[in-house]
Amino acid sequence: MTAIEKIDKILSTRQLLYTLLVIAIILPLIYPVGLPIGISSRTKAVYDYIQDDSKVPPGSHVLIEIYYEVAARAELEPQVIALMKQLFEKNCKLVFLSTITYGPLAFQFLQASAPDVFEGKTYGEDYVFLGYIAGQESAVASLAKSITGTVATDNYGNSTSSLPLIVEANDASAYALVIVASSGTDTFGWYVRQWYTPYHTPLLFGALSVIAPSIEPYVNAGQAVGMLTGQRSAAEYELLVGRKGLGIASMDAQSFAHGLILVFIIVGNIVFAYTKLSKRGEKK
Residues 6+ apart with CB under 8 A from 163: 124, 128, 154
Asked whether 222 and 2 are in contact (CB, 8 A), the reply is: no
Chain positions 211 to 250 lying near another protein, rule: CB under 8 A, are: 212-214, 216-218, 220, 229-230, 232
Q: Which is nearer to another protein, 90 or 124 (CB)?
A: 124
Chain positions 173 to 192 lying near another protein, rule: CB under 8 A, are: none
Per-residue interface string for the shown chain with another protein, residues 46-75, x marking contact by CB under 8 A: -----------------------xxxxx--
Number of residues located near another protein, criterion CB under 8 A: 72
The least CB distance from residue 252 to another protein, in Å, is 7
Interface residue with another protein, options 57, 58, 149, 242 (CB under 8 A): 149
Per-residue interface string for the shown chain with another protein, residues 100-139, x marking contact by CB under 8 A: --x-xx--xx---------------------xxxxxx-xx
Please give the DSSP secondary-structure letter assigned to residue 174.
G
Asked whether 7 and 271 are in contact (CB, 8 A), the reply is: yes
Residues 6+ apart with CB under 8 A from 266: none
Chain positions 247 to 266 lying near another protein, rule: CB under 8 A, are: 251-252, 254-262, 264-265
- Report in angstroms the alpha-carbon separations of 1 from 8, 56, 267: 11, 67, 18
Interface residue with another protein, options 58, 164, 198, 242 (CB under 8 A): 198
204 binds another protein (CB under 8 A): no
**According to DSSP H, which parts of the chain are helical?**
3-12, 14-30, 41-51, 73-89, 103-113, 115-118, 136-145, 164-168, 186-191, 197-199, 212-220, 230-241, 246-249, 251-283
Chain positions 6 to 35 lying near another protein, rule: CB under 8 A, are: 11-12, 14, 17-18, 21, 25, 35
